[in-house]
Amino acid sequence: MPENPATRSGPGRLLVAVYALFALAATARATVQILTRFEEAPLAYLLSALAGGVYIVATVGIARADRTSHRVAAVSCTVELLGVLIIGALSLLDPAAFPDDTVWSRFGSGYFFIPLVLPVLGLLWLRHVERLGRTRVSGAVTGESS
Amino acid sequence: MIDGLTTTIQLASLAMAVWCLISAFRGQPMFVPHLIGIGVLWLLLLGQGVVSGLLMANGEQPAERVVFIGYLATVILLPPACAVWGFMERSRWGPAVIAFACFILPVLMVRLEQTWSPALA
């Protein structure tokens, strides 16, 4: 019986749930901020919107089972990780540039550092699934030859 | 917004989170008792929603109206989403998702409180 890679079940589903919540939180927050008080901190709000977009892509990418989706998810997780590291460092070095917080400010301390941990977990999970798929393929090949 | 109700929701949510975490560690999927717990939590949240709606209808306004309604809608949708997730994932990871949501809910309640009256921030 060929099984689908178990991305959507088990721990993967928890990851998708957390990602979905973050996608919702970041986009909703950015939308309200951009619509109501964009001029206060345009850079911070645009970054929040960008973060929201990246979270949405990552959520869909992890939730879907095919390899292309996983590659897209891996790219967006990497973008997230770079984003939280770079914006986190910048927000500490130059607080004046960020009058209002973004999801990634101070390495995501306003969100219990989940934005910092999430892309790492995402990448680890995608690598795990990738390996699972590969062993299954090679297992099937050796199974046929023996 | 009634403060006492918010505190009740937060405590109930944390209790629910711990319970679901234990279930997840013991490898149990979501069962009927979990569903009842989610239902109770949902009724409490609906109560807070109704009270807030009545207060708003009587002229008391949240400080950030749009954000408040957004947060209120999110917290009210959270328990049904938990239940759906619990049905989809018939393994220990169902309660794990519910536990995560129930840990987040008290935080969302704090934010909800702040958008109602920023003085509490």
Owning domain of residue A24:
11-138
CATH at residue B17: 1.20.120
- Please give the pLDDT value at position B41: 96
Kindly determine whether residue A10 and residue B93, on different chains, have CB atoms separated by under 8 Å: yes
Residue A107 included in any domain:
yes
Residue A6 included in any domain:
no
For chain A, what is the domain count? 1
Q: B100 CA to chain A: closest CA distance, Å?
A: 8
Determine contact, residues B96/B34, Cβ cutoff 8 Å. Answer: no
Residue A99 included in any domain:
yes
Task: Using the predicted structure, report yes or no on whether residue B118 has a pLDDT greater than 90.
Answer: no
- Please give the pLDDT value at position A142: 57
Q: Which chain A residues touch B96 with a CB distance below 8 Å?
A: 11, 14
Residue A132 included in any domain:
yes
Burial class (CB in 10 A: 0-12, 13-18, 19+), A94: exposed
Owning domain of residue B64:
3-116
For chain B, what is the domain count? 1
pLDDT band at A145 (very low <50, low <70, confident <90, very high): very low
Q: What is the residue type of B2?
A: I
Q: B83 CA to chain A: closest CA distance, Å?
A: 13
Stated length of chain B:
121
Residue A114 included in any domain:
yes
Which tens digit of pLDDT belongs to each residue from B40-86?
A: 999 999 999 999 999 999 988 888 888 889 889 999 999 999 999 89
Determine contact, residues B5/B48, Cβ cutoff 8 Å. Answer: yes
